Amino acid sequence: MGLKAPDEYWELTTEEKNELCNGCGPKAIEPLIPDSLWGLSIVNACYIHDYMYSGILPRVTKWDADFYFLSNMLDMIDGSTCSWYKRLLRIHSAWGYFKLVRKFGSGPK
């Protein structure tokens, strides 16, 4: 499963990722937002989304970042092994996360 991200993301060091990315949810409430969908970690999708929101890449729009986020979550779900009903729960949750970032996400700085 290859996640989608700007080329520059893959060149970041661990320290740079930790500085720019915090996981799922805004920093203020991040501990309250799960980094997983029904047992499937989506932290890497969240990190890519955070990076795209960081403003480092001027050509990235809010739509780009949010769409990559949804696409990566759905790819991760597709690559996971689980029952059909857990897959449906994960897909439903991924769409919920997407709707939240579309409505409340600040977008690239």
pLDDT at 31: 77
Question: Is 86 a domain residue?
Answer: yes
User: How many whole angstroms separate alpha carbon 16 and alpha carbon 29?
Assistant: 21
Question: Is 90 a domain residue?
Answer: yes
Domain total of the chain:
1
Question: Is 20 a domain residue?
Answer: no
Question: Is 60 a domain residue?
Answer: yes
pLDDT at 1: 58
pLDDT at 26: 82
Question: Is 65 a domain residue?
Answer: yes
Domain of residue 64: give its range.
Answer: 38-109
Structural tokens at position 69: 């986020």
Q: Per-residue pLDDT for the chain (109 aa), expressed as one digit of tens each?
A: 589 999 999 999 999 999 999 889 887 787 789 999 999 999 999 999 999 999 999 899 999 999 999 999 999 999 999 999 999 999 999 999 999 999 999 899 7
User: How many whole angstroms separate alpha carbon 64 and alpha carbon 73?
Assistant: 14
**pTM over 0.85, yes/no:** yes
